Structure 1
């Protein structure tokens, strides 16, 4: 197998259920990948500041696809972004009100290239929970006026976390036929929907990095994912892996399934197998 780039989702995939990973094993595997010229890319629904925080010591040598493909970085360099407009936000809020979903919203986050924004009324507990995924968050008096409050921000994604009294089928039944055609809704787990420009997908962002890295064949890319927002990148290469902990319909879309789950270093174990290397005992724990 010729591998030139490895792309992994974060939560539920590379990270364990405590939002952490085996730093020693990753440092070892990452050194091996760099020595072989393999690019390593993080592809997440969460924000670039969060990804930089979690991989700070490696940040200059990684690719970052954040907000489900709305923003793409190589190291510190902003490569691409796909913006939302004030009209997009207003259209979405109108649809939520029209479908009576506003009563079931637990958290609403509007994100941009530089940071993320929440209503000032958000509780401290919810605010601290959102910082896990977004890191750089600002409370604002009104999200309705966020475009005017931060005129220099480039807004890219809206995250809506719904009450668990609703399931995904309920949410999709209400929203699927009402969203404007230029917007795409993807589930990122935890009953949260990420809504952005329809072109802003992980798969499209990977293709942008392919061009930058000079990778013509998508089958020279390995992808890992566990959720709906990973399906595009899982279907783009024959070297795709659904996590052992993923739902069956996600596994069906991938070419392979990892031997072990996200809580057992499933991505790193698979990478070591791809590199034809055994797990060194001193970093395997």
Structure 2
């Protein structure tokens, strides 16, 4: 059955460790996709403005799933937002502050559709790192007062990046007991957890695109490397875990790429699929 849609994660998957990609190879792959009528979708935990920055000049031709499925765009048009209630935002921030010493949390970010908000106490190094993934970042005097400062804004994700000695298992164990069932926490790599509505997943956002374009799950190919990609890797027999992915992720995918993210792993597989 021919592939009609290709969906890829970004960091650790499509992008190399320097957060860029082989532009000439991408132009070749995109030409093949467009020649065969294949949709290309970027699905990331980071923000839409960041994705547009990475694909400047191509944005009108692509679909974007950002913030792990909380925000979707068809080209430059916003098509779906799954917000978190303001009381839930307040609860998440309080829970993080209560559960971990400040020195063990390097980044606490509340994301809206376009703008991400951070506290003025964030270090310059962490702020610079945040801007890689969120592009439009606003520093506020007190993040605990954000919903009061922005009473009409739709917030979509809370990102928490922790440092040693906090482990992923420890962070999840502590926070899982404090989050209501309608919120979901997913690992996004880089010692970062993204918290949002339980229904705001990459897989659900992809399902909306499949319904829009009348494409079956076995007509898509998906690429990922981390926990937040597992749902979309389970959707299709044409799923690919990256060669650099953890063993658990590789076990959940139907295929493993020949090359890792630093050697055009996704682009090479796309070209093989479509040639």
> TM-score by structure 1 length?
0.93
SS in 1 for 2:179: coil
Structure 1 residue 100: Cα displacement: 3.7
Question: Retained in 2: the 8 A contact 1:114–1:154?
Answer: no
Question: Retained in 2: the 8 A contact 1:159–1:193?
Answer: yes
The 1:94–1:144 alpha-carbon spacing in structure 2 relative to 1, beyond 3 Å, is closer
Q: What RMSD in Å do the two structures reach over aligned CA positions?
A: 1.2
Q: Which moved more, 1:101-110 or 1:225-234?
A: 101-110
What stretches of structure 1 of length at least 5 have no aligned partner? 277-285
Query: Where do 1:28-39 residues align within 5 Å?
Result: 28-39=28-39
Moved over 6 A (4+): none
Quote the residue 1:282 is aligned against: none
Give me the whole-angstrom Cα distance separating, in 2, the residues matched to 1:83 and 1:124. 28
Structure 1 residue 21: Cα displacement: 0.1
Give me the whole-angstrom Cα distance separating, in 2, the residues matched to 1:262 and 1:100. 33
Quote the residue 1:247 is aligned against: 246
Quote the residue 1:256 is aligned against: 255
Structure 1 residue 14: Cα displacement: 0.2
Question: Retained in 1: the 8 A contact 2:32–2:271?
Answer: no
Structure 1 residue 120: Cα displacement: 1.5
Give me the whole-angstrom Cα distance separating, in 1, the residues matched to 2:142 and 2:32. 48
Give me the whole-angstrom Cα distance separating, in 1, the residues matched to 2:88 and 2:271. 43
Tell me if 1:52 matches 2:52.
yes
Structure 1 residue 106: Cα displacement: 0.9
Structure 1 residue 93: Cα displacement: 2.6
What stretches of structure 2 of length at least 5 have no aligned partner? none
The 1:191–1:119 alpha-carbon spacing in structure 2 relative to 1, beyond 3 Å, is same
Tell me if 1:11 matches 2:18.
no
Give me the whole-angstrom Cα distance separating, in 1, the residues matched to 2:195 and 2:172. 12
Question: Retained in 1: the 8 A contact 2:7–2:221?
Answer: yes
Quote the residue 1:128 is aligned against: 128
Give me the whole-angstrom Cα distance separating, in 1, the residues matched to 2:189 and 2:240. 18
1:134-166 deviation line (CA, Å, top 9, x unaligned): 001011111122223223421100000001321
Question: Retained in 2: the 8 A contact 1:164–1:191?
Answer: no
1:44-84 deviation line (CA, Å, top 9, x unaligned): 00000000000011100100000000000010000101001
> TM-score by structure 2 length?
0.97
